[in-house]
Amino acid sequence: MPRAGRPPEVEVTPELTIPKLFVRTAREYGQRVAIREKEFGMWRPITWAAYLENVRLFALGLTALGLQRDDKVAMIGDNRPEGLFAEMAALCAGGVAVWLFQDALLEEVQYIVDHCDARFLVAEGQEEVDKALAIKARCPKLERIIWDDPKGMRGYQDPALVPFTEVQRLGRDLAAREPGRLDGLVEEGRGDDVCLLFYTSGTTAKPKGALLTHTNMLKMGQNLMRVDPYQESDDFVSFLPMAWIGEQMMSISCGLMAGFTLNFPEEPETVLDNLREIGPHTIFSSARFYEQMVRTVQVKYLDASRLKRKAYELAHDIGYRQAECKFAKRPVPWSLRALGFLADQVVHKKLRDHLGLSHIRNAYSGGSALGPDYFRFFHAIGVNLKQIYGQTEIAGISVVHRSDDIKFDTVGKPIPETEVRITPEGEIVSRSPSVFKGYYKDPAETAKALRDGWLYSGDTGFLDPDGHLVFFDRTKDVFSLSDGSRFSPMFLESRLKFSPYVKDAWVLGHQRPFAAAVICIDGSVVGKWAEDQHIAYTSYSELSQDPRVYELIQSEIRQVNGRLPAAARVGRFLNLHKEFDADDEELTRTRKLRRAFLEERYQDLVQAIYDGAERVAVGTTITYEDGRVAQVKADLRIADVPNTGAGE
């Protein structure tokens, strides 16, 4: 058994593929634990040897069913070992893996399965199988639907359905006839073969399928580990959707190179509890995940006794002072270090443990920029939080903070072998071995994104004097404010969401007389506040429109306004009667605002805000996961925010 520690760097040659690295790693580590899954309240370990055997049988089973090199294998379901086995098996057999978000609506599933020409769809259980059967007739190339969870599947008789275990039985039979077949299939692969067809989140139009090669993914993992080395003994909790490139870059690229243990939560709803049980050494998630963590702490603070609140305030003040020294690269005075040790022992250590961050060396945030308030918070409690910047088209990452060089208003510096420059128009462009091959069936969009070896991101930013990249926003989303200055709505939205009472915020203001905000309150937090204030309500909609809730949100907005230039301050706002929802197309599956869609859907609301109206009637179509729709009508109040120069 190899000694646990930092593994030697993997040499990424033109011949190296993910399956070759996987087989090599699995055979080297053998009986070490590769995967754990929480099931029925128990953590079930799976060794590297068992991981390899499951993949071997499933890969040969796919081959027996007729999978050819470069065929597409679509997958949908929660993060689980069987999903990982299916993906790795598809790659070992020479196929291309295509992940879908588990909560994707029928039309989204149909579009991707049909567009990618998938012959096989691996579905977790009954819910996913129902979606697959519903779209099968409209996806002519789809031949087989493979399922692994038998619950509720007894009465299903469609001839396209194949149990996961049956595919592995076919693989076992093929292995008996041709013992060296898997090794032969793996050896055929080359680094520039496509391994993943990844569909972008599609904030403005249909998602595009990005073609990523083995070399793209392996070089990204190698270069990230050159910045932040991982160890064989590390634990990583896999809970982001496998259809998000960020999960692939950690679970697959870095996971195979480092040989650390992947841990799968019992359910998506138990992630925070499972994080605490495992205590991972590295964590990667979206900005929303960290925002929710902060909100959890803020709510507990509001519910705590006066003595506990005072201890928290004192410890946090000390932590903030230490963090500011770190950000400014100033030495921490010995007296502050002593106070910091005391604050850590009494408050911060327990807080990190409660959040599941007790062993964290590196915590990464990606997908969208995280506001400076969050960086200050996590560094104050002793969590080494860093921002990642990248796109699916560059295998997930091109820029990251260094542990000793964190500037919370930037996203860090390029990783090794990556060049970043800014065009005269302010667009961020990148060049690295991880830049994708192009978009599937879309040469026009490929030509826009790839020019002279550079990836054009569609993002606006600049490089500061220290070489840090400042990500401003998507170019199409950058505001021109009333004074002519340019401003990022995402920055202001992040500031607003630092309030525990605000779950989502949509900021308006492009070429308009003032900035405005549409707020989605956090129903559970505001609901608890309302109970403490003896405010009765029956629904989220009623709670959001209560005048006292408006006063609460107005107070939160005024605090944010106090730290903003005059032209960027929120002048008017309203509380929406519902939360933004990906099923209603208001958010992408990675939880980003679809601004153009929101502008169209709520155009009457936006017009009322800027017309100076005090109320607006809104009718909204709600889409359920099974395709049913319902109409919801509400009468919303629009409020001014005093002392901002707008609405007066």
| Rounded percentage of the chain residues whose pLDDT exceeds 90 | 71
What local confidence, expressed as pLDDT, does residue 622 receive? 62
State pLDDT tens for residues 104-156.
889 899 999 999 999 999 999 999 999 999 999 999 999 999 999 999 998 89
> What DSSP state is assigned to residue 30?
T
State pLDDT tens for residues 217-247.
999 999 999 999 999 999 999 999 999 998 9
Helix (H, G, I), strand (E, B) or coil at 451: strand
pLDDT at 556 over 60: yes
The DSSP H or E segment spanning 386 is strand 385-389
The class that CATH gives domain 284-358+360-475 is alpha beta
pLDDT at 644 over 60: no
State pLDDT tens for residues 420-460.
999 998 899 999 999 999 999 999 999 999 999 999 998 88
Among the residue ranges 138-147, 210-219, 343-352, 472-481, the one predicted with the least confidence is: 472-481
pLDDT at 647 over 50: no
Among the residue ranges 4-13, 149-158, 492-501, the one predicted with the least confidence is: 4-13
pLDDT at 648 over 60: no
Whole-angstrom distance, CA of residue 282 vs CA of residue 276: 13
Bridge pairing between strands 161-163 and 194-199? unpaired
As given in the structure block, the two tokens for residue 531 are: 């109970």
Give how far Cα 325 sits from Cα of 231, 336, 377, Å.
29, 10, 14
Task: Pick 574 or 372 by higher pLDDT.
Answer: 574
Handedness of CA 419, 424, 428, 432 (dihedral sign): negative
Chain-wide mean pLDDT for the chain? 91
Domains 284-358+360-475 and 478-640 share a fold: no
Check: CB of residue 527 under 8 Å from CB of residue 552: no
Task: Pick 404 or 186 by higher pLDDT.
Answer: 186
What local confidence, expressed as pLDDT, does residue 220 receive? 95
pLDDT at 493 over 50: yes
Q: CA 37, 41, 45 angle in degrees (round to 5)?
A: 30
Helix (H, G, I), strand (E, B) or coil at 518: strand
Distance of CA 486 to the CA centre of its chain: 27
Query: In the chain, what are the domain boundaries?
Result: 18-213+241-253, 284-358+360-475, 478-640
What local confidence, expressed as pLDDT, does residue 3 receive? 42
Mean pLDDT of 481-504: 85
Topology annotation, domain 478-640:
GMP Synthetase; Chain A, domain 3 (3.30.300)
State pLDDT tens for residues 363-398.
999 877 787 888 899 999 999 999 999 999 999 899
Count other C-beta atoms under 10 Å from residue 580's C-beta. 19
Torsion of CA 588, 591, 595, 597, to 10 degrees: 40
> If you compute the radius of gyration of the chain from its CA atoms, what whole number of angstroms results?
25
- CATH 3.40.50.12780 given to domain 18-213+241-253: yes
Confidence of residue 623 (pLDDT cuts 50, 70, 90): low
pLDDT at 2 over 60: no
Handedness of CA 79, 81, 84, 86 (dihedral sign): negative
Among the residue ranges 5-9, 58-62, 304-308, the one predicted with the least confidence is: 5-9
Whole-angstrom distance, CA of residue 70 vs CA of residue 236: 30
